[in-house]
Amino acid sequence: MDVVAERLEGPAEWSRLGVFVPVPLGWSARASATGDLQLEHAKTGVVVRVSRRTAGPSDPQEGETVAFSDAGRFRRVLALEPTGTTTFRRPDGSLRIEWWTEHEDAIHVEILSQPARALQAITLAEEILRGLQML
């Protein structure tokens, strides 16, 4: 993440660059000067990132492999419609679960988690995902 421009402790609200993100109780958030937001769950260490990128899925980062990819039929995020999701397995065995939009002005949401906690991570992040709004 770029230089931290703002820190928040949940419950709070954050909006920049046309996106609104709730910061629930038990989560902290760091916003960069470029408008990226990284949230971390205090008890589990689950990380959620919200950022602006080009439309469509991102390419695997170095050492990552695609574990699952879907264009709009599974794990939908209504605020990001039309949307898709990709799950990457990272070299250390952890997962990067990404939701992406097909809009020209694209938003990406990522969850970083250990495989054994992936379902818990998605469940924890649902409160953020449900409250996410395009402005």
Predicted structure pTM score: 0.86
Q: Where are the beta strands (DSSP E) in the chain?
A: 4-9, 12-16, 19-23, 27-32, 37-41, 47-53, 65-70, 83-89, 95-101, 106-113, 133-134
The closest of 78, 82, 18, 77 to 52, measured between CA atoms, is 18
SS3 content of the chain, % helix, strand, coil (to 5): 15, 45, 40
Per-residue confidence (pLDDT) for residue 102, from 0 to 100: 72
Stronger pLDDT, 56 or 6, i.e. the higher one: 6
**pLDDT attached to residue 66:** 93
pLDDT of residue 52: 81
pLDDT recorded at residue 2: 64
The domain segmentation of the chain, as residue ranges, is 4-134
The predicted-structure confidence for 51-93, as pLDDT tens digits, reads as follows 887 777 888 999 999 998 886 565 666 667 777 888 999 999 9
Span 35-42, mean pLDDT?
93
Q: Which CATH class is domain 4-134?
A: alpha beta
Q: For 112-135, what is each residue's pLDDT tens digit?
A: 998 888 889 989 998 898 898 888
